[in-house]
Amino acid sequence: QVDLVESGGGSVQSGGNLTLSCTASGGSTYDRYYMAWFRQTPGNEREGVAVIEADGTTNYAESVKGRFTISRDNAKTKLALEMNMLVPEDTAMYYCATARFFWPTSDWTTPSNFASWGKGTQVTVSS
C-alpha cells in the first residue's frame, strides 16, 4: 500500500491554470508502476484523467488532451498534473492513484485497477 497526499487544488476562473501535486510514500516501486490522476463529481463515476507508466509513457482522457500534462520524478515519489486552459467542466475532486502492472494498459481508466488512493484535492473552475 502506497500513502498518497494530494495538494494544489483551488478555485480559478475559466482559462486559468493550476498544478496539482501528489506525494507518495510507502510500498515499493512495483506498487507505483502506474501513477495516475482521476477526478470525480458528485453523483458520477470516478474518471481517469491521466496516467504515467513506469517507462514514462503517458495517456490522457480525450477531454484534457493538449491542456493537461502529467509528470513525475524518477524516484516515483512525486506526481504532478499541470492543468492549463481550465474550463468549468474540469471542476471536480482530483485524486492521485497508483497501481502495480496490469494488462491491457488501456484499462488505466478503470478505478478498480488502482490499489492506492489519496483523499483528493478540490478544483473549482468558474465561468
pLDDT value, residue 29: 87
Q: Tell me the C-alpha to C-alpha distance, in Å, between residue 15 and each of 60, 65, 88, 113.
A: 19, 15, 9, 32
Contacts 24+ apart (CB under 8 A), 101-109: 101/30, 101/33, 101/34, 101/54, 102/34, 105/53, 105/57, 105/59, 108/34, 108/36, 108/48, 108/51, 108/59, 109/47, 109/48, 109/61
Q: What's the chain's average pLDDT?
A: 96
pLDDT of 35 over the 90 cut: yes
Average pLDDT over residues 46-56: 97
DSSP tag of 14: T
pLDDT digits (tens, 9 = 90+) for 66-104: 999 999 998 999 999 999 999 999 999 999 999 999 989
Residue whose grid cell is 495516475: 36
pLDDT value, residue 77: 93
CB 38 within 8 A of CB 109: no
Share of the chain above pLDDT 90, in %: 93
Average pLDDT over residues 19-44: 96
pLDDT value, residue 83: 98
